[in-house]
Amino acid sequence: MSKKAAVANKDLFIRISKRDGITNRSAWTIRLIAVILSLIVCALIVVPITKQNPINVYLGLIDGAFGTKRRIWVTIRETLTLLIIAVGLTPAFKMKFWNIGAEGQVLVGGAATAAVMIYFGDAMPNWLLLLLIFVVSISAGMLWGVLPAIFKAYYNTNETLFTLMLNYVAMQIITFCIAFWENPAGSNSVGIINSETNKGWFPKMFGTNYGLNIILVLTVTIGMYIYMKYSKQGYEVAVVGESTNTAKYAGIHVKTVIIRTMLISGGICGLAGAIIVSGSSHTISTSIGGGRGFTAIIVAWMAKFNPFAMILVSVFLVFMQQGSIQLATQFGLNQNASDIITGIILFFLIGCEFFINYKLEFRKKKREVQ
């Protein structure tokens, strides 16, 4: 046997194969392992910088998310916002319509909300004003969602680029509006809208400012679960997502499903804009989305488009985000440290999906030497 052949016999080969199926327990075990590994990597980076015990570092994460009553409600508020956007993306992604425009749909929904608060704040009672806010924000989001849907349905345009570009159009629209709404004049910002009258603000419920946020988001989440799992339209969305040819053979009008689904997806994201502006920030700017439209894609994907699973994923991501911000502040780290920590965790969580869908088979390649 030659030396080259002997080495070849000792080489270890890896074969990647797609899993036939995996239990939920095994899938969540893989995700848990990914979280633990990500925390270890974060510790290897943060601990040498802070010179602190890793336990103290992670206690800082918990303190940042749940350390005070105010921090708890901030975590709840941010979770609700991220959750409703992820729920809004669910039908589109289930249909394999890659809606990357949630950020823009949130922005136009927020802009419509701000317009109603500014121009109609003194013209009607608050309950009627809120109803109008819901209608216009959902309508604005629907418009931003249906535009790429129509072009996709009739002209087969690339929905990824279309929806992505609409994000920048929405940002320019808000920039244009701020020029008219700036308060005080010359500040290049809108400031707090109706700060004296609180017109258009969500009322207090259950002793908190975010009671109505909770009701709206949970209602939409439960409604989406029922819609996707038990309704005929939810079934049609799933069939179109699997195969448009199969859908056509089954008598499903694919163009109608695409347009209808994006109306729903855009409308929910538009409502998220109202929840941010009317139920939280009470102002409008190009940053109200805060990148949630893109983070929500990760939430929806990791939850396998299950609205209830999205609750857990949203809580975890917001917990890490709020906790890492506190971590950076507490230990005097650079303000970008929180983004680095969040990015490491997201990297592991996204990467673990590979091991859920595929498996590695280690084998030795045998060669017969003549």
Q: Is residue 10 one of the residues assigned to a domain?
A: no
The predicted pLDDT at position 362 comes to 74
Q: What is the spatial distance between Cα 178 and Cα 192, in angstroms, rounded to a whole number?
A: 12
Angle at 76 between CA 74 and CA 79, to 5 degrees: 105
Residue 227 or residue 12, greater confidence: 227
Q: How confident is the model at residue 370 (pLDDT cuts 50, 70, 90)?
A: very low
pLDDT at 367 over 80: no
The predicted pLDDT at position 320 comes to 83
Q: Is residue 310 one of the residues assigned to a domain?
A: yes
What is the tally of structural domains in the chain? Answer: 1
Place of tokens 């109608």: 256
Q: Is residue 282 one of the residues assigned to a domain?
A: yes
Rounded to the nearest 5°, which phi and psi values hold at 253?
-80, 100
CB 19 within 8 A of CB 359: yes
CATH number of residue 100's parent domain: 1.10.3470
Q: How confident is the model at residue 31 (pLDDT cuts 50, 70, 90)?
A: confident
CB 101 within 8 A of CB 272: no
Q: Could you report the per-residue pLDDT of 255-269, keeping only the tens digit for each?
A: 999 999 999 999 999
The predicted pLDDT at position 13 comes to 62
* pTM, rounded to two decimals: 0.88
Q: Could you report the per-residue pLDDT of 183-207, keeping only the tens digit for each?
A: 887 778 899 999 899 999 999 998 8
Q: Could you report the per-residue pLDDT of 314-362, keeping only the tens digit for each?
A: 998 898 888 878 877 777 776 677 777 778 888 888 888 888 888 877 7
Q: Is residue 200 one of the residues assigned to a domain?
A: yes
Q: Is residue 267 one of the residues assigned to a domain?
A: yes
Residues of the domain holding 282: 53-330
Q: Is residue 348 one of the residues assigned to a domain?
A: no
The predicted pLDDT at position 12 comes to 52
Q: How confident is the model at residue 245 (pLDDT cuts 50, 70, 90)?
A: very high
Q: Could you report the per-residue pLDDT of 271-297, keeping only the tens digit for each?
A: 999 999 999 999 999 999 988 999 999
Q: Is residue 304 one of the residues assigned to a domain?
A: yes
How does DSSP assign 174-217, residue by residue?
HHHHHHHH-SSTTSSS--STTTTT-TTSPPPBTTBTTHHHHHHH
